[in-house]
Amino acid sequence: MRYVLIHVVDGDVELGAAGPAQVHADSGIWLEEMISRGVSQYGGRLRPAGDATTVRVRRGEVLIADGPFAETKEQVAGFDVIECADLGTALDVAARHPAARLGGIEVRPLWAS
């Protein structure tokens, strides 16, 4: 099954001096393993929510709004598309990503086709 891991982190999270570098390094280790296992299909880091634009269409009219879909303290920071046997494996894979320590990772199955 294919799942999307949506990295949700607190926008105010303090990484500390060694934080960002450590998280970056840990993400690299995670990605390398998941690619070699054939788990990771695609993924990426998102620029801050302030750079987001949301599009809605209402009554045929395109409404453009500055900012992310939901104005909350927690924001989507990145995502990975993974291929796993089942949710048990997907949760294991997600738990090992550093974003799970910083905030949380939403594990969402993709429609089959």
**Binds another protein by CB under 8 A, chosen from 90, 94, 100, 105:** 90
Does 51 sit near another protein (CB under 8 A)?
no
Does 38 sit near another protein (CB under 8 A)?
no
**Cβ contact 32:95 at 8 Å:** no
How many whole angstroms separate alpha carbon 56 and alpha carbon 43? Answer: 25
Nearest distance, CB of residue 94 and another protein, angstroms? 12
Does 109 sit near another protein (CB under 8 A)?
yes
Nearest distance, CB of residue 77 and another protein, angstroms? 22
Which lies closer to another protein via its Cβ, residue 32 or residue 92?
Answer: 92
Q: What is the dihedral of CA 31, 100, 110, 28, to 10 degrees?
A: -10
- Burial of 91 per CB tally in 10 Å (0-12, 13-18, 19+): middle
Binding site residues, another protein, CB under 8 A: 1, 3, 84-91, 107, 109
